[in-house]
């Protein structure tokens, strides 16, 4: 599925020097796929949030790092919210 906003964010992150970002999906949450070693990945993701992904004036952020292939339990952005 095409995600123009995700592509724009991915491009902007590359412009800011975050070349390890492979894919970004934008919805009620952001799912960012990195091609980066685990050591230091947390600091890089925090920097992405602070510099671009989060408006610190009105938003907070939190993130979870998972190894490739781990079940994430994330509901796709197109799925209806549970009642």
Measured at the CA of 78, the angle between CA 42 and CA 23, to 5 degrees, comes to: 35
Contact 43, 63 (CB under 8 A): no
Residue 75 has pLDDT above 50, yes or no: no
Residue 78 has a pLDDT of: 46
Residue bearing the bigger pLDDT, 19 or 29: 19
Residue 17 has pLDDT above 70, yes or no: yes
Confidence of residue 70 (pLDDT cuts 50, 70, 90): low
Residue bearing the bigger pLDDT, 39 or 80: 39
Question: Does pTM top 0.85 for this prediction?
Answer: no
């Amino acid at each position: 599925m095409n995600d123009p906003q995700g592509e724009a964010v991915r491009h902007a992150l590359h412009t800011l020097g975050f070349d390890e970002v492979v894919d970004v999906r934008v919805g009620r949450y952001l799912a960012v796929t990195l091609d980066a070693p685990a050591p230091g990945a947390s600091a890089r993701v925090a920097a992405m949030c602070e510099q671009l992904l989060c408006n610190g004036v009105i938003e907070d952020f939190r993130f979870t790092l998972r190894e490739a292939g781990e079940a994430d339990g994330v509901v796709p952005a197109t799925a209806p919210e549970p009642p």
